[in-house]
């Protein structure tokens, strides 16, 4: 899929997001060297009479793609980067600025600290700005984020995995005759965070993935789909052949897809598309969206916002979780919280800044990349599984739509207006009837959450967000 | 030396002075990559500075500045590519990366001698008097303050104003085993204004942005930023009273400019060389065939002065050019990088682009637009008895294989008996690229390019692009509203 957007957040798509916060880890003295650099920058900030924090990441990654019988690409990288935030007290407020660089030589670091201070002094004092008031993480539990034995994995071994997935996809069905390829990746990272309040912590993590995207062809029409697996441990990835086969099954079942007539019906979101609803929910409960009036749930804290079947958990210390970390982007301990409990909105996700804006304490949800100051992010976020199997949910649907793919950015968080391109399978008499495409599904997000009337019994973890199959009792499906 | 040659040599001088790179070292590193049996190798150096200041709640709370530097080394053999990158620019790191990248080939050979030299071709499509990242931050902060006050004074329903100025200044240098040595210095500026409006009953958001590869000074002109603020406020308040959007298949008139996102999604991606070489595009093997209605001509042009999507040379060192993709409805060209051009036996078109040194180049769009047609835009509107008039859009997305694409309206009106009716809420439009392009019935005379806000994402890489289109009428496209 390819997309064009206005990129409203102001960057040019160059910022390193949370997913890039991976580093080299405890190989050799990488961690020690990073900690020394962190300490140097913090000392220089303090010597200038300022406060602030630094984040360093070191990453070692490789990514391979096999297409058909051929290797498509092999990509390897080692990267390091430093992010600095300077906070300068001024009257009742604090001025702040952030900078980043990949030049970690001592004199470059000193220069960057000075530049950050100068930039901070140009901004306006903000009463809510500053480091957390205390409560930094003291225990740094082992969250099972890395198997040391995985470090030795060779590029050749990952090529072999991609090859197995690709062959499984290509041989799964005679209608699979082409593909965009199968891709395997391994990333190892070390993150160091320190601040002038005395906190200095680090952790190593890994992330491995395998992805396959075959094409099915019939009567001149082409369809593509994908399947993937991801884990912090190589031996917990779904088997490569299974990834390829499932990708192929998904592509083949789209053959013969057609639009349907415009109607209002129950809409079932599969495990992949339901994740996008959860990601949108995470945006609505972010402290920043709330104090900026950018959330249609902004005045709903403590109230019922979703069906009683919906319980949403955020847990930064889920063992082995792809969103797990022992401390957040401000050095505060991560933890488990119920965001929505049986439909009732229990908490916002907050860092210390958005917490102060709302008169609340941080929930340990500061996310911090090298390329900017703290923001709010979910850690591991999921909807608790219910007791109805996915098959039963379809059987319970006399006439409706199973959505397996969503397209576009048709969600307005301020109003909740939701309108997305979709493809999937038409359900008739509780059974899958035929594939559908070139349709949209629309409604208002607030109504959609209240109208969830079935929650599946299985959670699929292929990232830091997971949802069981969900059914929304009624939405507008636009077609012919 | 003509002004044209200046950019390439400026970039080379920059890397020479800062990192001690010279032609001989570049040739040595390419030689290392070529010690194995590979057909092509290239080095891509980058040093870029980006700064950003943003305002909310009436003050600029923070500023940021980021420096990104590094080198990417690539080796190609057949369809295979090896790529390694490092954020350290030194002779040693380049050698290590070159040795890693060539590992896609296990056959050794004597590389012979590589010589790189700066090409004569060149021009500067975007000279600036001052790099935007060197403009004092206080001036950017002052501008944002003025914008905040102006927006709030415009309309009492404005609750919140968020605005930002983003400046980027990038030096790039490409050296390749075929002797290419090309550089570019790329300024990029952008101003964003977003307002949250509320009337006590409803809340809405309005956004407008502008930018390009030009002097930041231009954004400080009230004639530039005031209309931008007015437009953001107008869009937000307009939607406060918008009705629910209808659902189903209907006739749609698209306004000029940014709605050209239609082309980007419906045909642009599908005409990128990689998808066609792999035959995964809905447009594969269709050169010479009719793929759009008569009268529809679509161009990709990386040579437009000062545009956001323009480049002097692409990220493989190929000069950009104007490529006709669809001529009077017939598919006549693809957009190519070097690898896909070579494999397809075609010429590179200057569309090899990458997000940064940490990414491999791919065929990407630059500025993609439809040429003006014969019809009066007013008359096009009057020709529709029942439908939607879509003036402004958010983003879009395409599945290049099935051809299905979407784009989201954020300013739209009902069209009834040729008259513009009530505003309707944002909704997604969905269609099939090859099919929708055939259903273009009218092409207006008012072709316009977008204000310079597009970022295109492909395979996880974002690059700045431009789009453009005249007013067009499309018969029968699915509108994703809520009113059946």
| DSSP line for A35-49 | HHHHHHHHHHHHHTT
**Looking at the structure, do residues B232 and B257 belong to the same domain, yes or no?**
no
Q: What is the predicted pLDDT for the residue at A371?
A: 84
Range name among A25-29, A41-45, A254-258, A457-461 with the lowest pLDDT average: A25-29
pLDDT tens digits for range B288-300: 999 999 999 999 9
Kindly state the tokens that stand for A4: 């064009």
Give the domain-ending residue among B240, B257, B282.
Answer: B240
Q: What percent of chain B has pLDDT over 70?
A: 97
**Looking at the structure, do residues B181 and B317 belong to the same domain, yes or no?**
no
Q: What is the predicted pLDDT for the residue at B255?
A: 97
**Looking at the structure, do residues A264 and A166 belong to the same domain, yes or no?**
no
**Looking at the structure, do residues A462 and A411 belong to the same domain, yes or no?**
yes
Domain count, chain A: 2
**Looking at the structure, do residues A269 and A202 belong to the same domain, yes or no?**
no
**Looking at the structure, do residues A99 and A148 belong to the same domain, yes or no?**
yes
**Looking at the structure, do residues A172 and A262 belong to the same domain, yes or no?**
no
Residue A119 contacts B, CB cutoff 8 Å? yes
Sign of CA dihedral B227, B233, B236, B238: negative
Is A47 a member of any domain?
yes
- Which among B202, B396, B463 has CB closest to A408? B396
**Looking at the structure, do residues B257 and B341 belong to the same domain, yes or no?**
yes
**Looking at the structure, do residues A49 and A111 belong to the same domain, yes or no?**
yes
Is residue A284 predicted with pLDDT exceeding 90? yes
Is A97 a member of any domain?
yes
DSSP structure class, residue B345: T
**Looking at the structure, do residues A91 and A31 belong to the same domain, yes or no?**
yes
Q: Report the relative pairing of strands A336-341 and A312-315 from DSSP bridges.
A: antiparallel
**Average pLDDT over every residue of A269-280:** 96
**Looking at the structure, do residues B306 and B212 belong to the same domain, yes or no?**
no
Range name among A74-83, A263-272, B31-40, B100-109 with the lowest pLDDT average: B100-109
Q: What is the predicted pLDDT for the residue at B3?
A: 37
Q: What is the predicted pLDDT for the residue at B37?
A: 81
CATH of the domain at A197: 3.30.2290.10
**Looking at the structure, do residues B295 and B345 belong to the same domain, yes or no?**
yes
Distance (Å, whole) CA B338 – CA B346: 9
**Looking at the structure, do residues B254 and B365 belong to the same domain, yes or no?**
yes
Give the domain-ending residue among A185, A217, A251.
Answer: A251
Q: What is the predicted pLDDT for the residue at B1?
A: 32
CATH of the domain at B187: 3.30.2290.10
Give the nearest chain B residue to A288 (CA atoms). Answer: B56
Give the domain-ending residue among B213, B240, B267.
Answer: B240
Is A298 a member of any domain?
no
Asked if B273 and B341 touch (Cβ cutoff 8 Å), the reply is: yes
Q: What is the predicted pLDDT for the residue at A1?
A: 55
Q: How confident is the model at residue B121 (pLDDT cuts 50, 70, 90)?
A: low
Query: What is the CA A34 to chain-centroid distance, rounded?
Result: 26
**Looking at the structure, do residues B252 and B167 belong to the same domain, yes or no?**
no
**Looking at the structure, do residues A148 and A267 belong to the same domain, yes or no?**
no
Mutate which of A2, A100, A209 to disrupt the B interface (most B C-beta within 10 Å)?
A2
Is residue A4 predicted with pLDDT exceeding 50? yes
Residue B100 contacts A, CB cutoff 8 Å? yes
Q: What is the predicted pLDDT for the residue at B123?
A: 85
Domain that holds residue A435: 257-276+385-478
Task: Report DSSP letters for A287-332, one per residue.
Answer: HHHHHTT--TTTT-TTSB-S-TT--EEEETT-TT-TT--SB-TTSP
**Looking at the structure, do residues B258 and B207 belong to the same domain, yes or no?**
no
Q: What is the predicted pLDDT for the residue at A17?
A: 29
The pTM assigned to this predicted structure is 0.93
Is A283 a member of any domain?
no
CB-CB neighbors (< 8 A) of B432 in chain A: 438
Is A263 a member of any domain?
yes
Q: What is the predicted pLDDT for the residue at B253?
A: 97
CB-CB neighbors (< 8 A) of B483 in chain A: 476
pLDDT tens digits for range B69-93: 999 999 999 889 999 999 988 888 8
Residue A255 contacts B, CB cutoff 8 Å? no
Asked if A57 and A37 touch (Cβ cutoff 8 Å), the reply is: no
Cross-strand pairs, B336: none
**Looking at the structure, do residues B225 and B95 belong to the same domain, yes or no?**
yes
CB-CB neighbors (< 8 A) of B464 in chain A: 12
Higher pLDDT, B103 or A393: A393
Give the domain-ending residue among B186, B219, B240.
Answer: B240
**Average pLDDT over every residue of B157-163:** 97
**Average pLDDT over every residue of A346-373:** 96
Is residue A413 predicted with pLDDT exceeding 90? yes
Inter-chain touch A419–B483, beta carbons under 8 Å: no
Cross-strand pairs, B42: B74, B176
Domain that holds residue B425: 247-480
CB-CB neighbors (< 8 A) of B261 in chain A: 4
Distance (Å, whole) CA B212 – CA A19: 29
Is residue A103 predicted with pLDDT exceeding 50? yes
| CB neighbours of residue B142 within 10 Å | 13
Between the CA atoms of B86, B90, B92 and B97, what dihedral angle is there, to the nearest 10 degrees?
30
**Looking at the structure, do residues B229 and B257 belong to the same domain, yes or no?**
no
**Looking at the structure, do residues A32 and A142 belong to the same domain, yes or no?**
yes
**Looking at the structure, do residues B224 and B256 belong to the same domain, yes or no?**
no
**Looking at the structure, do residues A163 and A266 belong to the same domain, yes or no?**
no
**Looking at the structure, do residues A172 and A266 belong to the same domain, yes or no?**
no
Inter-chain touch B408–A222, beta carbons under 8 Å: no
Is A351 a member of any domain?
no
Q: What percent of chain A has pLDDT over 90?
A: 90
**Looking at the structure, do residues B283 and B327 belong to the same domain, yes or no?**
yes
Q: What is the predicted pLDDT for the residue at B122?
A: 67
Is residue A16 predicted with pLDDT exceeding 50? no
CB-CB neighbors (< 8 A) of B456 in chain A: 2-4
Cβ-based contacts under 8 A for chains A and B: 335
Q: How confident is the model at residue B111 (pLDDT cuts 50, 70, 90)?
A: low
Is A358 a member of any domain?
no
Domain count, chain B: 2
Is residue B286 predicted with pLDDT exceeding 90? yes
| CB neighbours of residue A458 within 10 Å | 12
Q: What is the predicted pLDDT for the residue at B110?
A: 72
Is A242 a member of any domain?
yes
**Looking at the structure, do residues A207 and A89 belong to the same domain, yes or no?**
yes
């Amino acid at each position: 899929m390819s997309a064009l957007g206005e990129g409203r957040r102001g960057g040019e798509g160059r910022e390193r997001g949370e997913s890039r916060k991976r580093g080299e880890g405890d190989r050799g003295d990488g961690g020690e060297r990073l900690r020394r650099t962190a300490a140097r920058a913090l000392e220089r900030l303090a010597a200038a009479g300022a406060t602030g924090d630094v984040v360093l990441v070191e990453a070692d990654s490789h990514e391979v793609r096999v297409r058909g019988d051929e290797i498509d690409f092999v990509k390897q990288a080692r990267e390091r980067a430093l992010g600095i935030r300077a906070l300068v007290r001024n009257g009742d407020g604090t001025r702040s600025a952030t900078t980043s660089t990949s030049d970690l030589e001592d004199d470059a670091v000193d220069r960057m600290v000075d530049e950050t201070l100068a930039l901070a002094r140009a901004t306006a004092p903000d009463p809510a700005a500053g480091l957390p008031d205390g409560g930094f993480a003291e225990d740094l539990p082992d969250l099972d984020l890395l198997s040391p034995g995985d470090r030795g994995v060779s590029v050749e071994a990952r090529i072999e995995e991609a090859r197995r997935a690709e062959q499984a996809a290509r041989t799964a069905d005679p209608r699979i005759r082409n593909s965009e390829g199968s891709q395997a990746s391994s990333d190892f990272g070390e993150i160091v965070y320190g601040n002038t309040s005395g906190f200095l912590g680090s952790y190593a993590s890994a992330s491995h993935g395998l992805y396959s995207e075959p094409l099915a062809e019939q009567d001149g029409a082409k369809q593509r789909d994908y399947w993937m697996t991801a884990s912090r441990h190589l031996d917990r990835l779904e088997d490569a052949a299974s990834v390829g086969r499932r990708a192929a099954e998904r592509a083949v079942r789209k053959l013969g897809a057609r639009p349907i007539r415009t109607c209002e019906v129950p809409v079932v979101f599969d495990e992949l598309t339901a994740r996008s609803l959860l990601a949108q929910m995470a945006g609505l409960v972010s402290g920043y969206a709330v104090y900026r009036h950018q959330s249609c749930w902004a005045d709903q804290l403590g109230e019922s916002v979703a069906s009683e079947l919906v319980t949403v958990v955020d847990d930064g210390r889920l063992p082995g979780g792809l969103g797990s970390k022992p401390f957040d982007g401000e050095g505060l301990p991560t933890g488990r919280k119920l965001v929505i409990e049986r439909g009732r909105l229990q908490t916002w996700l907050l860092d210390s800044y958005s917490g102060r804006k709302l008169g609340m304490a941080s929930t340990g949800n500061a996310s911090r990349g090298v390329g900017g100051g703290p923001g709010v992010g979910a850690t591991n976020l999921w909807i608790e599984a219910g007791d109805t199997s996915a098959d039963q949910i379809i059987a319970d649907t006399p006439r409706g739509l199973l959505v397996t793919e969503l397209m576009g950015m048709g969600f307005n968080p301020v109003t909740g207006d939701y309108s997305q391109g979709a493809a999937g399978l038409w359900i008739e008499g509780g059974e899958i009837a035929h594939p559908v495409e070139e349709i949209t599904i629309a409604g208002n997000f607030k109504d959609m959450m209240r109208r969830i009337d079935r929650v599946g019994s299985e959670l699929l973890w292929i990232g830091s967000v997971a949802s069981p199959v969900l059914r929304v009792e009624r939405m507008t499906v636009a077609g012919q | 030396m003509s002004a044209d040659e200046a950019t390439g040599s400026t970039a080379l001088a920059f890397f020479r002075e800062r990192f001690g790179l010279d032609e001989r070292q570049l040739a040595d590193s390419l030689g290392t990559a070529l010690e194995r049996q590979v057909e092509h190798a290239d080095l891509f150096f980058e040093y870029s500075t980006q700064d950003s200041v943003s305002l909310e709640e009436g003050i600029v709370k923070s500023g940021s500045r980021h420096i990104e530097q590094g080198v990417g080394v690539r080796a190609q053999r057949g369809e295979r590519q090896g790529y390694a990158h490092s954020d350290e620019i030194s002779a040693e790191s380049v050698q290590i990366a070159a040795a890693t990248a060539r590992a896609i080939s296990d056959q050794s050979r004597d590389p012979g001698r590589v010589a790189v030299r700066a090409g004569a071709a060149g021009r500067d499509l975007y000279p600036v008097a001052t790099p935007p990242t060197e403009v004092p931050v206080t001036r950017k902060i002052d501008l944002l303050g003025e914008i905040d006050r102006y927006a709030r004074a415009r309309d009492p329903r404005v609750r919140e104003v968020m605005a930002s100025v983003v400046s980027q200044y990038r030096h790039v240098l490409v050296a390749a085993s075929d002797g290419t040595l090309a550089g570019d210095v790329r300024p990029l500026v952008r101003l964003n204004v977003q307002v949250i409006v509320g009337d006590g009953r409803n809340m809405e958001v309005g956004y407008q942005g502008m930018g390009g590869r030009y002097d930041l000074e231009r954004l400080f002109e009230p004639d530039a930023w005031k209309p931008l603020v007015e437009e953001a406020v107008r869009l937000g308040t307009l939607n406060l009273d918008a009705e629910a959007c209808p659902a189903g298949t209907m006739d749609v008139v698209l306004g000029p400019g940014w709605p050209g996102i239609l082309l980007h999604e419906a045909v642009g991606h599908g005409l990128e060389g990689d998808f066609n070489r792999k035959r995964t595009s809905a447009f594969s093997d269709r050169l010479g065939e009719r793929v759009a209605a008569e009268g529809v001509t679509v161009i990709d042009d990386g040579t437009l002065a000062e545009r956001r999507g323009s480049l002097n040379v692409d990220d493989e060192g190929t000069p950009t050019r104007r490529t006709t993709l669809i001529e009077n409805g017939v598919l006549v060209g693809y957009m190519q990088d070097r690898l896909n051009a070579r494999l397809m036996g075609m010429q590179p078109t200057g569309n090899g682009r990458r997000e940064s040194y940490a990414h491999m180049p791919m065929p990407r769009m630059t500025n993609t637009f439809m040429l003006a047609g014969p019809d009066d835009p007013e008359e096009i509107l009057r020709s529709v008895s029942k439908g939607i008039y879509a003036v402004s859009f958010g983003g879009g997305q395409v599945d290049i294989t099935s051809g299905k694409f979407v784009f989201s309206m954020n300013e739209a009106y009902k069209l009834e008996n040729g008259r513009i009716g009530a505003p309707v809420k944002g909704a997604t439009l969905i269609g099939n690229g090859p099919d929708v392009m055939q259903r273009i019935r009218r092409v207006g005379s008012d072709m316009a390019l977008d204000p310079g806000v597009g970022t295109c994402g492909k395979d996880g890489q974002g690059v700045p692009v431009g789009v453009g289109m005249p007013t067009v009428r499309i018969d029968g496209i699915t509108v994703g509203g809520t009113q059946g």
